[in-house]
Structure 1
Amino acid sequence: MKILEVKRYSKNTIESYSSIVKMAIQFFEKPLNKIDETELHRYFYHMVHTKKVSYSYQKQIAMALKLYYREVFDQNINLEFLFPSRKPDRLPVVIARKEVLKIIEKANNIKHKSMIAVVYSAGLRVGELIALEIKDIDSSRMVIHIKSGKGNKDRIVPLSEKTLSMLREYYKEYTPKRYLFEGQKGDRYSSSSFNKLLQAAAKRARINKNITAHTLRHSYATHLLENGTDIRIIQKLLGHNSIKTTMIYTQVTEPTLLNVTSPFDD
């Protein structure tokens, strides 16, 4: 995927697209330029109906494969019609503050606790978490520098005092070299490993919801809104291009709806 590097795609996009192409090659067990469009349609049917991929991942598969054919084989294939026609209108999964604390408490060690705390306290995407380097934590200014986030954009988010305290304890014990949270071989931690440790901690905390890194991000935004933070500030903190994306949280926290008393309680 050197072509994508030259074209300045973000690291996360390059890794995601590379993974999608490798998965497709493994499925067909032959080079993709030997695949006709009918076989590609069968692959999409498999991913949607057997693998049950999400709306956004289905769209990402189509975009990645279309780009791969164009850049590698100089072949323009029509995959736009395989984009899902309508995004499901679902509200984000949000957990309470006390549930976040329970999950952190039930994490196995200070490294896992710190990772969960960083994601929640700064509202990070999992790709942003694992890309963090030690130098991105600025304790003098109390900020975290997110580099090459979604859309290949940098941003600054506040660093929590409690999170900094946990990070200092973690650093003394694990002494990472470059990345803030390293894998076993000193490289970047994997996003799948983080979600597994997060789900294991949530299970031990007896929280019966499908908890992922994005659940923590959703909860961060929702809790900020509940505290009275302006929606446009939340937009900047989350790195959203459009305010429309951030507005979904107003449906979760609408005070007039949350304060309605059920007639059953009367």
Structure 2
Amino acid sequence: MQVTIFGFQHRKSMQIGTRFTYNFELKEHLKKLEDIHWSKTHSCFYLAATPLNFEKLVVHLQQIEKDLVLDLPSLNDFLDNMKGYSNLHIVNFRHYLKGKRYSQSTIKTYLSFTADFLMFHTGKMTFSRSDVERFMESEIAGNKRSISTHRQAISALKLYFEFSDQAEFDLSTLHRPKKSKYVPTVLSKEEVLDLLRLTRNLKHRCVIALIYSSGLRIGELVSLELRDIDIDRKQILVRQSKGRKDRYVMLAESILPLLYNYLQTYEPKRYFAEGFNGNRYSTSAIRTFLKDSCERAKIRKHVTPHTLRHSFATHMLENGTDLRYIQELLGHSKPETTMIYTHVAQKDVVKIQSPLDASIKKLLEQADNGNTNLRLSRNILG
């Protein structure tokens, strides 16, 4: 009987797996080995990949049957091969992505998914569609990652297979799950004012005000340089944002006194919001003080910096701004992306009358004719 010993990535660690044609005696013998586990996903018994466990596994297998054939390299060789295999492919894939002029953020994300996939299928040189599905089931869906993350992982692997030509299947059959459609959380105009009033720190208040009044992404805010704020023209230049696009956004006149006060007090040198030693301000710091301000303002909604951007777009739409201009201000490449705000804007919805309101209005008209028994707190019919 032949038993194959191989390495693979499982539960974010390297493991030593065993695979063989089903044999009850061998199965029961393996279960007696200390610290061995069964992986339903990979259909194999496995141990943590350490030199000691490798030796223990080999000795244990050799105890059951003298003519057992073990298909294995040395542990060190097989770990070195795996490391070299993964690194070589990842390095080449990185060069490929850079050549395609993908952003640093996209490159980092795609390399991370690809490295996880290669570690999950350690030692394999070609991949089937079921290999991809097993990875998604175990590492993405199994770890309860979001649909958005799942879609990114599929995109990364499709691009990797196009580059490496290691897929044994038609890439057009590899589909992303449907995108989740959520209505964005939006603050009311009163809640925004409360949030600003109850943010005590001057710098924090200025950051919140600028994100909301200009509809900035948090990454755009921390990358914003002082040279790109044009006070005379009431404009801000957002450089090379999402999709490698420059765009202008508005600088609200009402924010100018706050802006002057902040600039004179903190005296930033390069970036609008600077952290330690003049470096970019931390996005995590912004999320932290925003959460603190929401608690002080007694806002129960789940608020993130992007909520302020959603609120900017929704309030602009409610104020009568054309959707095309909002699309330009937000930097959306597709009008469909901006259309989501039509689902939360009250501009047209408030004109629609509820059937209950219509019924009550009719009853009130009847009250003028002597029918006064109209309160909802008791039986209207008497």
TM-score grouping bracket, smaller chain normalisation: 0.7 to 0.9
Deviation at 1:62? 3.7
CA contact (8 A) 2:239 2:246 kept: yes
Q: Which moved more, 1:136-145 or 1:166-175?
A: 166-175
C-alpha contact 2:113 2:156 (8 A) present in aligned 1: no
Percent identity of the aligned residues? Answer: 40
1:83 paired to 2:173: no
- In 1, Cα distance between equivalents of 2:227 and 2:266: 16
After superposition, the Cα gap between the structure-2 partners of 1:133 and 1:58, relative to the gap in structure 1 and judged at 3 Å, is farther
Offset of residue 68 of structure 1: 6.4
- What is the CA–CA distance in structure 1 between the aligned matches of 2:113 and 2:141, rounded to whole Å? 14
Q: What amino acid is the match of 2:339?
A: M
Once residues 246 and 43 of structure 1 are traced to their aligned partners in structure 2, the CA distance between those partners, rounded to angstroms, is 34
User: Which runs of 5 or more structure 1 residues have no equivalent in the other structure?
Assistant: none
Q: Does 1:151 align with 2:271?
A: no
Deviation at 1:5, TM superposition (A): 5.6
2:289 corresponding residue in structure 1: 197
Of 223-232 and 157-166, more deviation after overlay is shown by 157-166
The residue correspondences of 1:227-266 to structure 2 (distance < 5 A) are 227-253=319-345, 255-262=347-354, 266=360
Cα-to-partner distance string for 1:225-250 (whole Å, 9 max, x where unaligned): 11111111111111111111111111
CA-CA distance at 1:87 after TM superposition: 1.8
Aligned residue for 2:185?
Answer: 93
Please state if 1:60 is matched with 2:152: yes
What is the DSSP-based 3-state SS (H/G/I as helix, E as strand, rest coil) of the residue aligned with 1:222? helix
Give the structure with the higher percent strand: 2
Offset, 1:50? 3.5
Q: 182-191 or 107-116: which moved more? A: 182-191
Indicate if the aligned counterparts of 2:317 and 2:347 stay in contact, CA closer than 8 A: no
Q: Distance in 1 between matches of 2:298 and 2:286?
A: 18
- Aligned ranges for residues 106-145 of structure 1 at < 5 Å? 106-145=198-237
Which structure has greater helix proportion? 1
Contact 1:21 1:65 in 2 (8 A): no
| 1:154-165 correspondence to structure 2 within 5 Å | 154-165=246-257
TM (norm. structure 2) is 0.58
Q: CA deviation at 1:79?
A: 10
Three-state SS of the structure 2 residue aligned to 1:253 is coil
Indicate the residue corresponding to 2:143 in structure 1.
50
Q: After superposition, where does 1:21-36 map in structure 2 within 5 Å?
A: 21=111, 34=122
Q: Which range moved further: 147-156 or 101-110?
A: 101-110
SS in structure 1 at match of 2:240 = coil
What is the Cα deviation at residue 107 of structure 1?
Answer: 2.5
Cα gap change, 1:5 to 1:215, in 2 (>3 Å): same
TM-score, normalised relative to structure 1: 0.80
Deviations, residues 81-137 of structure 1 (Å, cap 9, x unaligned): 3622x2223211111011112222232411111111111001111111111011111
Which residue number in structure 2 is paired with residue 188 of structure 1?
A: 280
Establish whether residue 167 from structure 1 lines up as the match of residue 259 from structure 2. Answer: yes
Q: Offset at 1:33? A: 8.6
AA of the residue aligned to 1:206: K
Equivalent position SS for 1:145: strand
Q: Which amino acid aligns with 2:152?
A: Q
Larger relative contact order (CA 8 Å, sep ≥ 6): 1
Distance 2:135 2:297 in 1: 38
